[in-house]
Every structure is written in C-alpha cells, then in structure tokens.
Amino acid sequence: MGFKSLSSPLVESFLHVHEKHGTYSMLEMRALELMDSAVVSAQNFSQCDKDSKAMRESWQRAMWAEERSQEALLEAWAATVSGAERLLIALNHEQLLLRLVDFAKEDMDMEPFCADTQRLAQQFYGRAVSLLDRAAWPLVQQAITFQAVASYQEQQLQLKHLQYVPLPEIWQTLKKQLAAVAEPSQPEGLQVAAEALAAMGPELCPAPQSCPRGLQLAQGFEAHGRACQAAAKTVHVMSPHAAAGLVQQLRLRPEPLRSLALLREVEVAVEGRQGAPA
C-alpha cells in the first residue's frame, strides 16, 4: 500500500475503513442472492400453487439478510466518517504533509548553485517539493480510494433511505494543502523552502571549517549572515535558524506536484461523469 510515510493511527483508520466496507459488500451480495431466491420462490408458488411455508421462509431469510446488510452499511459509514475525521486532524493539526519528509535524512546528491543564493534556494525548494510529492503519493492514492468508497456508501445509504451524518470534507482540504506546499507565497511553501535551505545548505554549501556551521552566502546576500575570517578573506555565514528570514526575501517560483495534478485530474473526471447524460 505504500504506507511507510504515514503514521500508524492514520494507517489503522484506513485499514478499518476497508475492512468494514468489505464486510458490507459481502453481506450486501448475500442479501441480494437471498432476495433473488425469494423472488423465484414466489414465482414458483404462484405458478405451481405450492405450500406457502417455503415462500414465507425464503422471504424471511431475505429480509433478515437485508437488515444485517443495512447494519453493516451503517457500521461501514461510521468507520468512513471516523477515518475522514482522523485524516483531517492529521492535516490540520499535526501538519501531516510537512512531516512526511525529513530533509536532513534525504539523499543530497546534486550539484548545488552555491555561487548564487537565489538559485540555490530555488534548487533546494524544488528538491524538497519533489521529495514531499513522492512521500505524499501513497496518501493521495488512499484519499482517491477513500473518496470512491465514501461516495458508493453514501449512494447506498440514500437508496436504502437510511439516515446518516455527513462526511467531513477531506478532498478539498488535501488539495488545498498540497497546493500551498507547492506555492512559496503561502506559509506552507515558505516553511518547506526554509527547512530545505536550513538542512541542505550547510551540507552542500558549507562555511569554511574555521567558521561556525552554516551556509556560506553568495555575494549580495551578506546581510543575512555573519562575517567570518577564513583563509585571509571574509565570508558571510548564515546559520540554519536564519533560513526562514532569507527565503521570505527571495522570489521563489512555484514547483509542480504530481500528486496535486492527480487529484485535479480525478476531480475533473468525476465531475465529467456526473454531468454526462444518463
């Protein structure tokens, strides 16, 4: 399933949703089979003038199966609502997307633009968004499946005239947060850019050994660091803690997200299918 990047409670809630939905699907199939048998029994009774006992028992079994199916549907919907609420908590209060990647532990095999701090920050931001995109892919796939399951369950609830609580809005929340991560003018995008610069900068464009640990700034960005004497020349070093202040002054470009594009494609496809003539 590709759940490695997701927290255990969230994974468990997804699995619980699938388990409950699977149980409902099996019980619904059984109820339909028994209903078909009851219809055949009724047809045989009317055609052959047989004893009504077998027909009554057949209909009774079909009705019991339908009642159990409805109970399973309500249980499945409760699990789906609970899973949606758990995902919303993770997105809104636990900063799920921003926690998917630990930039300090990622492979930093690249040729950095150390001589141009503006290009360097953009390069690191692009790499960070790419890593986050890859980590978010399993979550997006699950969200698509989750939404399909929820839509089917809600349709069944309406067909069976059952009362139910509405599903929390997770689709738009996930899409909005992914878009914010890919947009450096948004707080989430700025945070990703700052964390990437703070983690990758001192490793790929390090200050001389005689200076404090940090990113050696290129010419024109000296104001964001502290002067340090190294090899008879003055260099300016920015500590990782100052990365947020620097990226706020830069004009970074948005970066593409494959996972966000997938959500939008699915959304367009669903809207097109719903708008198509019956």
Total number of domains constituting the chain: 1
Task: Report the C-alpha gap between 270 and 178 in whole angstroms.
Answer: 20
In the chain, % of residues over pLDDT 70: 91
**Of residues 101 and 46, which shows the higher confidence score?**
101
β-strands 215-216, 226-230 pairing = unpaired
What is the average pLDDT across 169-187? 95
Q: Which domain holds residue 109?
A: 8-183
Domain-embedded: residue 30:
yes
Contact (CB, 8 A) for 3 and 138: yes
Q: Is residue 277 part of a domain?
A: no
Model confidence at 129, in pLDDT bands (50, 70, 90)? Answer: very high
Q: CB of 35 within 8 A of CB of 62? A: yes
Mean per-residue pLDDT over the chain, rounded: 89
Is residue 132 classed exposed, middle or buried when 0-12, 13-18 and 19+ CB atoms within 10 A define those classes?
buried
The radius of gyration computed from the CA coordinates of the chain, to the nearest angstrom, equals 28
DSSP three-state, residue 129: helix
CB proximity list for 160: less than 8 A, separation 6 or greater: 70, 73
Residue 177 neighbours by CB distance under 10 Å:
20
Measuring CA to CA, which residue among 113, 133, 130 is closest to residue 250?
Answer: 113
In a domain, 123, yes or no: yes
Q: Does some domain include residue 101?
A: yes
Q: In sequence order, which residues have a C-beta less than 8 Å from that of residue 169 and are 6 or more positions away? A: none
231 assigned to some structural domain: no
Q: Is residue 251 situated within a structural domain?
A: no
Domain-embedded: residue 161:
yes
Rounded to an integer, the average pLDDT of 164-188 is: 95
Residue positions counted in the chain: 278
Residue 253, domain member (yes or no): no
pLDDT grade for 132, boundaries at 50, 70 and 90: very high
Tens of pLDDT, residues 203-239: 999 999 999 999 999 988 988 999 999 878 899 999 9
Query: 175 pLDDT exceeds 90?
Result: yes
Confidence (pTM): 0.82
Q: Burial letters for 46-74: b for 16+ Cβ neighbours within 10 Å, e otherwise?
A: eeeeeeeeebeebbebbeebbeebbebbb
